[in-house]
């Protein structure tokens, strides 16, 4: 049971921290950087495995209820890449722009302007390193990846991802709209429902 409303957020990604603070606005959020917690080695083969690695690592280092996400974009037409390698698709020290450009180049090599794609977020929360039943929730948002970049907001692949039902990229959305329809918002809503049921 979560004894207080304090959560260690097991990420150093500034974009994720900003989004999670808005979504988890009824909780006191502590990014792992405030405890000088380094990133663990993510050697899982799925979003779930990597999220669990990060959450357990955060809990071990802080002694707090720890929440981690692993997320990325999946393009079936590119053999389901980038997937769990989304953050480092163009190399270990790649920037968001580097990663987007790599996908754009791959689409152009296939003579495609767009391909179906979806964002995935898996959230995991653990109360301790021995927690036998982590809280797990996932969310997806479907759309298309495009060679045409637009928008100034968001991060990651948002500038080239166009969700179904929208004729503009996710990077064009204001934070309120993005936090309503995004993969992270969907996963977070389910996660909070499970967390509240445990706390009640």
Q: What phi and psi, each to the nearest 5 degrees, are found at residue 154?
A: 65, -165
The domain containing residue 155 runs over which residues? 6-199
Any idea what the CATH number is for the domain that residue 168 is in?
3.90.950.10
- Contact, 64 vs 37, CB < 8 A? no
Q: Is a pLDDT exceeding 50 seen at residue 97?
A: yes
Average pLDDT, the chain: 93
Q: Is residue 17 part of a domain?
A: yes
Number of compact structural domains in the chain: 1
Q: Contact 83/72 with Cβ under 8 angstroms?
A: yes
d(CA 68, CA 126): 9
User: Left if phi > 0, otherwise alpha if psi is -120 to 50, otherwise beta: which for 197?
Assistant: alpha
What confidence score (pLDDT) does residue 11 get? 93
Give the number of residues written for the chain. Answer: 200
- pLDDT tens per residue, range 4-28: 789 999 998 888 898 888 888 889 9
Residues with Cβ within 8 Å of 2's Cβ and at least 6 positions away in sequence, in order, are 65, 127, 195, 198, 199
Asked whether residue 120 is assigned to any structural domain, the reply reads yes
172-187: average pLDDT: 91
pTM for the full predicted model: 0.91
In a domain, 1, yes or no: no
Tell me the C-alpha distance between 173 and 28, whole Å.
Answer: 26
In a domain, 47, yes or no: yes
Could you give the residue numbers annotated as active site?
Answer: 70
Query: Environment class of residue 91 by beta-carbon count within 10 Å: exposed (0-12), middle (13-18) or buried (19+)?
Result: exposed
Distance separating the N- and C-terminal Cα atoms of the chain: 9
Digit-coded pLDDT (tens) for 101-116: 999 999 999 999 999 9
Tens digits of per-residue pLDDT, 122-172?
Answer: 999 999 888 999 999 999 999 999 999 999 998 999 999 999 999 999 999
């Amino acid at each position: 049971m979560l004894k207080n409303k304090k959560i260690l957020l097991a990420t150093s990604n500034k974009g994720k921290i900003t989004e999670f603070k808005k979504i988890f606005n009824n909780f006191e959020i502590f990014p792992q950087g405030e405890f000088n917690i380094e990133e663990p080695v993510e050697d899982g083969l799925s979003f779930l495995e990597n999220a669990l690695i990060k959450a357990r690592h955060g809990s071990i280092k802080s002694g707090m209820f720890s929440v981690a996400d692993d997320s990325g974009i999946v393009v079936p037409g590119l053999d389901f890449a980038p997937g769990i390698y989304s953050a480092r698709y163009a190399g270990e020290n790649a920037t968001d722009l580097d990663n987007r450009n790599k996908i754009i180049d791959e689409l152009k090599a296939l003579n495609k302007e767009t391909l179906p794609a979806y964002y995935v977020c898996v959230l995991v929360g653990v109360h301790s390193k021995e927690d036998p039943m982590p809280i797990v929730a996932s969310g997806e948002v479907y759309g298309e990846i495009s060679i045409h970049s637009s928008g100034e907001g968001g991060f990651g692949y948002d500038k080239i991802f166009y969700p179904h039902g929208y004729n503009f990229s996710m990077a064009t959305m204001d934070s309120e709209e993005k936090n309503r329809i995004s993969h992270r918002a969907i996963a977070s809503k389910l996660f909070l429902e499970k967390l509240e049921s445990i706390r009640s």
